[in-house]
């Protein structure tokens, strides 16, 4: 699947959310989406953990065992599943990255060169820089295009293949639709 197709899948989700949560007069949803992406990037950095100089364990959270209960089936005890919190946070970033592009409603060339800095810290620095620029000049597509180039680069720097990213994106996309259907 290419990026242009993901934009269309994202549009379907954004439309669904829009139906359930109609835009209010005067609401700046683009600004909220940009802030949401900043927040998700922070969550992503928190799962990457490389900046946590005060701890010995600074390994990225890519294997996490989640313990959960199934309603009505607790007599069988808790269940376990293996999750990849870093990949999940990255998939949320991708959602908002695509959604911002759709929101800007411009003729964005949906094929960005993948850009990587010398390390992940620098990559985050560039990403926050471009997002910050976008908060001030939201109509400038060049900041958006740069943001996407560095965001796509970040996934590869985390060691994720495009197939993994796509699968994680599709799983969360499905969950996001289900949440909207169940009155989230």
Site residues, ligand DUT (CB under 6 A):
13-14, 17, 92, 95-96, 99, 172, 176
Segment 68-77 long-range contacts (CB within 8 Å, at least 24 positions apart): none
Residue with tokens 């996407």: 148
Least separation in angstroms between residue 32's CB and ligand DUT is 8
Cβ-Cβ contacts under 8 Å for 143 (sequence gap 6 or more): 130, 133, 134, 137
Specify which residues 83 forms β-bridges with.
64
Name the residue nearer to ligand DUT (CB basis): 99 or 123: 99
Q: Which is nearer to ligand DUT, 116 or 164 (CB)?
A: 164
CB closer to ligand DUT, 77 vs 183: 183
Closer to ligand DUT at the Cβ: 36 or 117? 36
Going 169 to 172 to 178 to 182, the CA torsion angle's sign is: negative
Instruction: Pick the closer one to ligand DUT by CB: 117 or 167.
Output: 167
Closest contact distance (angstroms) between CB of 111 and ligand DUT is 21
- Nearest approach in angstroms of CB 40 to ligand DUT is 7
SS3 state at 99: helix
Closest residue to bound ligand DUT by CB? 95
> At closest approach, how far in Å is the CB of 181 from ligand DUT?
14
Instruction: Kindly state the tokens that stand for 92.
Output: 């949320």
Tokens 């970033």 correspond to what residue? 93
Query: Minimum distance between the CB of residue 176 and ligand DUT, rounded to whole angstroms?
Result: 5
């Amino acid at each position: 699947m290419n990026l242009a197709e993901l934009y269309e899948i994202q549009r379907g989700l954004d439309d669904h959310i829009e139906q359930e949560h109609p835009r209010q007069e005067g609401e700046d949803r683009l600004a909220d989406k940009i802030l949401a992406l900043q927040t998700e990037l922070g969550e992503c950095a928190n799962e990457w953990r490389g900046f946590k100089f005060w701890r010995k364990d600074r390994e990225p959270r890519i294997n996490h065992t989640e313990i959960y209960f199934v309603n009505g089936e607790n007599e069988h005890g808790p269940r376990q599943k293996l999750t990849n919190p870093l990949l999940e946070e990255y998939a949320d970033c991708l959602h908002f990255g695509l959604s911002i592009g759709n929101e800007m409603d411009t003729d964005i060339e949906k094929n960005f060169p993948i850009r990587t800095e010398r390390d992940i810290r620098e990559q985050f620095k560039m990403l926050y820089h471009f997002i910050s620029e976008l908060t001030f000049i939201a109509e400038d597509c060049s900041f958006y295009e740069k943001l996407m180039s560095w965001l796509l680069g970040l996934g590869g720097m985390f060691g994720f293949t495009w197939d993994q990213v796509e699968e994680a994106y599709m799983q969360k996309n499905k969950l996001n639709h289900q949440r909207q259907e169940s009155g989230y």
